[in-house]
Structure 1
């Protein structure tokens, strides 16, 4: 019996990136289907979040994600460009966000096709895996192709159906909060949330309790 779960996820979250490859491996090794539910980055949902946080928060987060990438053997580098346009010195979020809206809308368009998980994995590997100017040239087109998608088609849908896609992304966020959390990455299995890249083993343990089997 195939078990199912939802993964609430952000293209800007380094912890989401650190989680998605490991969740992907879980689906390859077990009779499990994970549906990607993209949400907008916290910087867009709560623009004053970074200004309100402790001054050490950003420095610690950067230290933590780099050491976790080394611990898990996951290639990682600061994104160039950052999916969110932000003044690092003041932490202020710019009003114009050319990358984030494109990524999330295309991610939701991919999710409509049942291929959001693969799209998120390939694109986040570009963004966080060290590809400079990931938004230029054919980087995204090739990533979409690896996920079985057409980037031009996704971009057209993101532009033509932006309002409906945004409503679906907002519904993702509502479902995440209804499940009992607000942050990403959060896997929700049978109504139970597992927040963070450090809860993957716990999520696997719970699913095994519910009969999760290895693929044969």
Structure 2
């Protein structure tokens, strides 16, 4: 019997990026379906989040994601451009955000087609894997193609159905909070949240208790 889990995920989260290829590998190894549920980053949901946090928080995150990437042998580089326009010195989030809304809406459109996880995987490899100007040229189109999607179709839906997609994305956030967490990446299985890339093995242990089998 195929088991199902939901993954709540953001394009701005380096931890989401570091977890994604493991989620993909799980679906390849086990009889498991992951429903990719996109949410907007904290920078959009709580614009003053970074300004309120302890000064060491952001510095620690940078160090932590770098060592995790090194440990797991995953390419990692600061995104260029950042999906969220932010003054890193002051931590202030810009009013104009040209990237994150269209990206997240396209991700939600990809989820409608059953390929949200594949799209998240391919696009996050661009953003966090060191591809400069990932938003230009054929980068996103090629990523969509590798995920088995038509980029023009995703882009058109993201533009024409923006309000509907934003409602779905907000519903995803509410579902995440209802499951008992607020951050990403969080895998939710049978109502139980497993937050972070370091809880994937624990999630697999729980799913095996419920009958998870290898393919």
Same-fold call, TM > 0.5?
Answer: yes
Aligned match of 1:96: 96
Residues 26-37 of structure 1 aligned to structure 2 (within 5 Å):
26-37=26-37
Cα deviation, residue 201, structure 1: 0.4
How far apart are the structure 2 equivalents of 1:125 and 1:16? Answer: 11
How far apart are the structure 1 equivalents of 2:185 and 2:191? Answer: 15
Aligned match of 1:46: 46
- Give the CA RMSD over aligned residues: 0.5
Aligned match of 2:137: 137
How far apart are the structure 1 equivalents of 2:160 and 2:43? Answer: 24
Give unmatched runs, 5+ long, in structure 1: none
Secondary structure of the residue that 1:62 maps to in structure 2?
helix
Q: Deviations over 1:73-127 (max 9, x none)?
A: 1111110000000001100000110100011000001011111010000000000
Q: Deviations over 1:36-74 (max 9, x none)?
A: 000001100000000000001111100000000011111
Cα deviation, residue 151, structure 1: 1.1
Secondary structure of the residue that 2:5 maps to in structure 1?
strand
Give unmatched runs, 5+ long, in structure 2: none
How far apart are the structure 1 equivalents of 2:199 and 2:24? Answer: 15
TM-score of the superposition, structure 2-length normalised? 0.99
Secondary structure of the residue that 1:50 maps to in structure 2?
helix
How far apart are the structure 2 equivalents of 1:44 and 1:130? Answer: 24
How far apart are the structure 2 equivalents of 1:73 and 1:206? Answer: 26
Cα deviation, residue 153, structure 1: 1.0
Aligned match of 1:188: 188
Would you say 1:117 and 2:153 are equivalent positions?
no
Count of matched residue positions in the alignment of Structure 1 and Structure 2:
215
Secondary structure of the residue that 1:172 maps to in structure 2?
helix
